[in-house]
Amino acid sequence: MSRGTSGGTGGGLLVAGTTSDAGKSVVTAGICRWLVRQGVKVAPFKAQNMSLNSFVTREGAEIGRAQAMQAQAARVEPTALMNPVLLKPGSDRSSQVVLMGKPVGEMSARGYHGGRQEQLLGTVLECLAELRGTYDAVICEGAGSPAEINLRRTDIVNMGIARNARLPVLVVGDIDRGGVFASFFGTVALLSPEDQEFVAGFLVNKFRGDVSLLEPGLDMLENLTGRRTYGVLPFQHGLGIDEEDGLRVSLRGSVRESEVSSPVGEDILRVAVCAIPLMSNFTDVDALAAEPGVVVRFVDRAEELVDADLVVVPGTRGTVRALEWLRERGLADALARRAAQGRPVLGICGGFQILGEHIEDEVESRAGHVDGLGLLPVRVRFAREKTLTRPVGEALGEPVEGYEIHHGVAQVTGGEPFLDGCRVGEIWGTHWHGSLESDGFRRAFLREVAAAAGRRFVPAADTSFGSLREEQLDRLGDLIEEHADTDALWRLIESGAPTGLPFIPPGAPA
């Protein structure tokens, strides 16, 4: 399979799911990697993403990290076109709306679904059309479930975009949760006849066991719905790409269940990540988890910091709220004790701000003046304009790259310079996300941590985080190539949903 750009509208596919976390992001990335290995020029797309894990493109646009990783799977540079609407929750009821990579304000869920979302449909369709005019294929990811009947009127990410752009829909179900046949059938049966015309079939994800035992059920499902199953992907550990939400490390799955490679030196290193509210870009610790002999876990109790060789205070969409949470749970006092004992702490972005002397916030929390933990000589003032940059620099004698996403402007009044932040003893702070993905710098930093912790830990000389990511994306491509009907998938992408698909009652309620 090999195609050049035809100059017309490229093919497309929408990967929907029976639920959130069914595997849409992973399947989308896998299809992108499979296609690009076949010589197809492909791009990912997600009209609307809700996530606190975001990334900064080279043009300074903020998009979801999942779409950035899908772009890497497709071997293309991520752009704002690939995720035109990003919602960053600030509470259970409101989110910051990021449009074409730039924040345009806070909005309640009611306000967004009450009209604003429909207004964005034109922008979303224009972005998709531009991508389809440039690429041979665009693999779109839905959000949640397409059968969320309470939100269908304002939907711009599932069936709303599938119908407007005439995209075939592949519904992914997580069989590891159970109930996958009911979920597949119910998803189709709750869609209107017009929506059902675009639902081409199903893809089973995370199957364990003998596929022959599943096949009778797949045949029954096809008889019931008139729609075939395009593949059964086996369960494999450590295949999640950068997650939208949830406490996960993408290279190893759940951190609390991670299997740590044998250390190169005599000791392991224990890393505790404070699971603060509205935690953002917790993928920063993925690179640490990829190191042989490094154990990473998320913690929410002060006693869990006691045996940690390094504590990370990560980014957050609610710096003041996270600061209050640390104090309420005794973690703030535990961090102060670590500082007094000369034991390593790393603050990243919001975590860096928390470690400072005080915060002036009339933007995010509107709390005004708030005292920080006072562990670093830093004063933070929140600006209405968001900083979105891709800095490059040097630290610990090694080149470093990162990206910045923050409203807080830091005034550093002392300490040693460290990635545009500072260091005092073994307390480190920076606004740079992603810095630990720079292999030489990560090794140098871990050597410093090991020395301060008194551990005989030695970083592996050959761990390449970039190579591990590529291997992971290739594994996703292998899953699609080996366990899906790729010829049938390509026909969907190129020609759309089959004609004459039957209607499954009752359909969407009036």
Mind giving me the DSSP string for 311-373?
EEE-EES-HHHHHHHHHHTTHHHHHHHHHHHT--EEEETHHHHHTSSEEEESSSS--EEEE--
140-151 mean pLDDT: 94
Pairing state between β 310-313 and 279-280: unpaired
pLDDT at 510: 82
Residues 6+ apart with CB under 8 A from 471: none
Q: Are 421 and 428 in contact (CB under 8 A)?
A: yes
Q: Mean pLDDT across the stretch 426-433?
A: 97
Residue 111 above 90 pLDDT?
Answer: no
Per-residue model confidence (pLDDT) at position 425: 95
Contact (CB, 8 A) for 278 and 90: yes
Report the alpha-carbon distance of residue 288 to residue 296 in Å, rounded: 7
**CA-CA distance, 501 to 292, in Å (whole number)?**
51
Closest CA to 377 of 335, 433, 336, 423: 423
Over residues 230-277, the pLDDT tens digits come to 999 999 876 666 655 544 444 333 343 345 567 888 899 999 999 999
Do the bridges between strand 310-313 and strand 358-361 make them parallel or antiparallel, or are there none, so unpaired? unpaired
> For residue 263, what is the DSSP state?
P
What is the spatial distance between Cα 493 and Cα 497, in angstroms, rounded to a whole number?
8
The yes-or-no answer on residue 433 being catalytic is: yes
Contact predicate 171/135, CB 8 Å: no
**Tens-digit pLDDT profile for residues 282-340:** 889 999 999 999 999 999 999 999 999 999 999 999 999 999 999 999 999 999 999 99
- Whole-number average pLDDT of the chain: 91
**Is residue 220 left, alpha or beta, with left meaning phi > 0 and alpha meaning psi from -120 to 50?**
alpha
Count other C-beta atoms under 10 Å from residue 249's C-beta. Answer: 26
Phi-psi region of 306 (alpha: psi -120 to 50; beta: other; left: phi over 0): alpha
Q: From the centroid of its chain, how far is CA 265?
A: 32
Place of tokens 């010589």: 39
Pairwise CA distance, residues 161 & 458, whole Å: 51
- 156: tokens are 């711009």
Whole-number pLDDT of residue 199: 98
Catalytic residue among 32, 127, 140, 349: 349
Residues with Cβ within 8 Å of 91's Cβ and at least 6 positions away in sequence, in order, are none
Phi, psi (degrees; rounded to nearest 5) at 410: -95, 130
CA distance 317 to 344: 24
What sign has the CA pseudo-torsion 82, 88, 93, 99?
negative
Record the tokens describing residue 396, joined without a space: 């610990």
Q: Which two tokens mark 243? A: 């997650």
Beta bridge partners of 317: none
Sheet holding 368-371: strands in order across?
Answer: 368-371, 358-361, 378-389, 404-412
For the residues of 135-182, what is the DSSP string, one character each?
SSEEEEE--S-TT-TTTGGG-SSSHHHHHHHT--EEEEEEGGGS-HHH
**Interatomic CA distance for residues 35 and 482, integer angstroms:** 13
Q: Which of 86-90, 169-173, 314-318 has the highest mean pLDDT?
A: 169-173
The strand pairing partners of 50, in sequence order, are 87
Q: What is the pLDDT of residue 255?
A: 41
- Mark whether 406 is an active-site residue: no
Residue with tokens 């900064």: 56
Give the per-residue pLDDT at 241.
Answer: 64
Among residues 406, 407, 431, 433, the one annotated as catalytic is: 433
CA pair distance 31, 16, nearest whole angstrom: 13
Which pLDDT does position 61 carry in this prediction? 96
Alpha carbon distance 291, 264 (integer Å): 10
Closest CA to 341 of 445, 427, 270, 269: 427
Beta bridge partners of 253: 249
Residue 291 CA to residue 443 CA, distance in Å, equals 9
Q: Given the structure tokens 């090694």, which residue do they identify?
A: 398
| Cα–Cα distance measured from residue 404 to residue 235, given in angstroms and rounded to the nearest whole number | 35
- Residue 458 CA to residue 443 CA, distance in Å, equals 9
Q: From CA 45, how far away is CA 28, in angstroms rounded?
A: 9
pLDDT in tens, 1-45: 444 433 457 899 999 999 988 999 999 999 999 999 999 999 999
